[in-house]
Amino acid sequence: MREAHPGLPDFDYVRPADLEEASRFLAQNPQTARPFMGGTDTFVRLRDGFWKETRYLVDVKNLDGRSEITFDPQKGLTVGAAVSMNQVVANPRVGSHYSLLAQAAHRVASYQLRTRATLVGNVCNASPAGDTLGACLLFGGVLRVHGVEGFRDEPLASFFQGPGRTALKPGDIVTAIRFPLPVPGSVGHYEKLGRNLLSDLAIVGVTVLGHPDSSTASGYRFHLALASVGPVPVVLPDLLTQAPVTPEALEEAAGQAMESCHPIDDVRGSARYRKLMVRNLSRRALTRVWEGLQSGYRGE
């Protein structure tokens, strides 16, 4: 059982003047310093004794340009690292071009927590249950990272390495996440199954993004991502391309999703139930997207 501690362990709050200083400090204290963004996971983990070595919290949320959402009709969307979930949900550009992202962000925790929690923080936290990871992956998200050697890009496709483990190195600070323009006509849907209706972690999360594609036999292309059924998000790209999309084909794709994952038993649910739910919720999400593609629906 995890030890319960009152209050927080001692730590120093560090507020660097710029990114260089922040990266340098983090790199010099690889075991003991952690970047601090919304804090919704950080403080819980500190209190739980999960991060025993942390001595410095490096506040990186007030650095330049990090609290903005920008949209370029040619290049796509950029969400600054300090942008809260609620800001993502409320942004009209996100709503009109990346509504799946807004839908997923809306299912994270509770309204109160979403005023602090950030999209980039959710990604960097790399929880297998992260609600927005699927949408970020399927939209082809790329992280803008500042490290000791300057800026670089980290595509999400190769970012997640295990629960809480990512491609980030000591000194790395994610400044934004960028998404290219979605394929025209894209429709997305996120199905989250929690134990109760509000503010739970996902027992299973299924994200689906589909779009018309004249190069495939079906005329469509579907991508699917699964949460909470493995150490990292499970992605099934390019589904339902070979043959016309029918209820049977959707069912088959859902079965494929079920076979692709290897969940475990834990306090939130059994592996057996999770697999069955991957099938049922994949069927549900694929069907919703398929209906949307036919009717012009753009997701919730």
Partner 1 sequence: MDTVETTTPRPHQENAAPRPVGESVTRLDAHEKVTGEAVFADDLQFGPNMLYARIKRSPHPHARILKIDASQALALPGVKTVVTGQSTPGFIGLYLKDRHIFCTDRARFVGDPVAGVAAVTEEIAERALDLIHVEYEVLPPVLDPEDGVRPDAELLHPELGSYEVANFIFPQPGTNIPNLFKIRKGDVDQALSEAAAVVHHTFRVPHVQHVPIEPHVAIAKVDERGRVTLWGSSQSPFAQRNLIASALGISQADLEVVAPYVGGGFGCKAGVSMEALAVAIAMQVRGRPVKLRLTREEEFYTTFVRQGLVAHFTMACDAEGNLTAMDNKFYWDGGAYAEYGVNMTRGAGYSSSGPYDVPNVRTDSFCVYTNHPVGGPMRGFGQPEMQCGLEQCINHLALEIGMDPMDFRRRNCVKEGSNLVTGMKMHATGIGECIEKAAEAIGWGHKDPPSAPHKRRGKGIAAMWKAPAMSPNAGSSAWIEMSEDGKCTLGLGGQELGQGTFTVMAQMAAATLGIPYDWVRIASPVDTKYSPYEWQTVASRLTWSMGNAVVAAAKDARRQILELVARSWEETPEDLDIVNGNVISAKSGRSSSLKGLVVYGLAKPGDQGWIGGPILGRGSFMPTYVTGLDPETGQGQRAVVHYTTGAQAVEVEVDLETGRVQVLRGASAFDMGKAINPDLVNVQMEGGLVQGISTALFECLQLKDGVVRNPSFVDYRIATSADAPRDMQSIIVEVPQDDGPFGARGVGEHSMVPTMPAIANAIHDALGIHPGAPPFTAEKVYLAMVDAGLVK
Residues that bind partner 1 (CB under 8 A): 1-2, 4-7, 10, 193, 195-201, 203, 267-270, 272-273, 276-277, 280-281, 283-284
Evaluate whether 268 touches 201 at the Cβ level (below 8 Å). Answer: yes
CB-nearer residue toward partner 1: 49 or 65: 49
CB-nearer residue toward partner 1: 106 or 146: 106
Least Cβ distance, residue 1 to partner 1 (angstroms): 5
User: What is the gyration radius of the CA atoms in the chain, in angstroms?
Assistant: 19
211 Cβ contact partners less than 8 Å away, ≥ 6 residues apart: 182, 183, 184, 185, 186, 187, 220, 221, 293
CB-nearer residue toward partner 1: 223 or 283: 283
Alpha carbon distance 236, 110 (integer Å): 29
Helix intervals (H) in the chain: 19-28, 42-48, 85-90, 92-97, 99-106, 111-114, 119-125, 133-138, 247-260, 271-295
CB-nearer residue toward partner 1: 10 or 153: 10
Three-class secondary structure assignment of 216-227: CCCCEEEEEEEE
4: which 2 tokens?
């319960």
Least Cβ distance, residue 198 to partner 1 (angstroms): 4
Least Cβ distance, residue 203 to partner 1 (angstroms): 8
CB-nearer residue toward partner 1: 38 or 147: 38
Least Cβ distance, residue 60 to partner 1 (angstroms): 26
Least Cβ distance, residue 201 to partner 1 (angstroms): 7
CB-nearer residue toward partner 1: 41 or 172: 41
Least Cβ distance, residue 45 to partner 1 (angstroms): 12
Provide the total of helices (H) and of strands (E) in the chain, helices listed first. Answer: 10, 14
Residue carrying the six token digits 């996120």: 190
Alpha carbon distance 224, 58 (integer Å): 35
